[in-house]
């Protein structure tokens, strides 16, 4: 079985994912420190990253990460929707129109680079 077959999901995703490698900062409401990890991919609905800690699925978080279309870091709320070992999948919370446009533009830009 090749790598693509191992990671293939029978569930069709709402939005395509695009590979992005950037530092990803996560803060939970009960933590006073921000955990740093690495992002793996991004979509219009969320992002995945690797962290050396584990949170429970359903945990509310604040995410901060850089994208290639703006010099300012993106700061958004989110929910941890999946976890497999150190890999964590976050769904973005209520995005402002500006945040949504930045994330959409990021996805369009990354799509051109594939």
What confidence score (pLDDT) does residue 95 get?
Answer: 95
Residue 86 lies in a domain: yes
Residue 61 falls within a domain, yes or no?
yes
Is 4 a domain residue?
no
Q: Name the percent of the chain in helix, strand, coil, to the closest 5.
A: 20, 40, 45
The pLDDT value given to residue 54: 82
Query: If pLDDT is split at 50, 70 and 90, which confidence band does 12 have?
Result: confident
Question: What residues make up the domain containing 75?
Answer: 11-113
Q: Classify 110 as helix, strand or coil.
A: helix
Average pLDDT, the chain: 89
Residue 6 domain-assigned (yes or no):
no
Q: Is residue 48 part of a domain?
A: yes
What pLDDT digit, counting tens, does each position of 50-102 carry? 999 888 999 999 999 999 999 999 999 999 999 999 999 999 998 999 999 99
Cα separation, 104 vs 114, in Å, equals 16
**Residue 3 included in any domain:** no
Q: Does residue 5 form part of some domain?
A: no
CATH at 74? 2.40.10.220
Strands 46-50 and 60-65 turn out to be unpaired
pLDDT at 1: 38
Domain assignment of residue 44, yes or no: yes
- Judged against a pLDDT cut of 60, whether residue 43 lies above it is answered with yes
pLDDT score of 2: 37
pLDDT of residue 6: 42
Q: Name the domain count of the chain.
A: 1
């Amino acid at each position: 079985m090749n790598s693509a077959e191992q990671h293939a999901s029978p569930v069709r995703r709402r939005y395509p994912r695009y590979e992005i490698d950037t530092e990803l900062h996560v803060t939970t409401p009960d933590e006073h420190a921000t955990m740093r990890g690495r992002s793996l991919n991004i979509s219009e609905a969320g992002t995945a990253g690797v962290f050396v800690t584990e949170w429970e699925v359903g945990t509310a978080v604040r995410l901060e990460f850089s994208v290639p279309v703006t010099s300012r870091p993106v700061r958004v709320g989110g929910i941890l929707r999946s976890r497999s070992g150190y890999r964590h999948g976050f769904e973005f919370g209520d995005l402002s129109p500006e945040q949504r446009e930045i994330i959409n533009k990021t996805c369009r830009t990354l799509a051109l680079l594939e």
